[in-house]
Amino acid sequence: MHQVANVFFLIYFIYHILVGIPGIVSVKVTRMLAYKLYKLQLEENLDLKYQYALKALGFYALYTGLLCYFGLTSENAELKAKLLFALGVLTLLRALGRLVSKDLITKAFSLKSDRNIFHVSLNSAMALGMFYVAGHLA
């Protein structure tokens, strides 16, 4: 189970670093990533409040990546299980956020509902996998 846990941590580590750095340094790259990864269409000229929010999310992503790095490199099964469980909670909350805000997301980002359902399903499945593995680590 440690190898499976490490796969989750590695995927999430890479993802959060690759999303976090552009979120902090480049609105243009963030716009491109938002579309490539999520089909979210961000406006060409984002106001300053939106730009600040993207930077804050970038720092949050880097922090999450750091936690994933700790999980990836830890030999402590109990710590690894707790970090993986916390990552599962975060992932499930992302799915829930997309589900309860589906109309807002569709209107704000011109996102088709089937794409949103895909991400809700993917995040839910990933979270359940993390909970299962975390429960078998400690």
The ranges assigned to domains in the chain are 2-135
Q: What is the pLDDT of residues 55-65, one digit of tens each?
A: 999 999 999 99
- What pLDDT, on a 0 to 100 scale, did the predictor assign at position 88? 98
Residue 137, token pair as written in the block: 């680590």
**CA distance from start to end of the chain:** 10
Q: Cα separations (Å) of 26 from 7, 34, 35, 44, 130?
A: 28, 12, 14, 13, 31
pTM comes to 0.89
pLDDT value at 66 more than 80: yes
Contact indicator for 91, 130 with CB cutoff of 8 Å: yes
Q: What is the pLDDT of residues 100-138, one digit of tens each?
A: 999 999 888 888 889 899 999 999 999 999 999 999 997
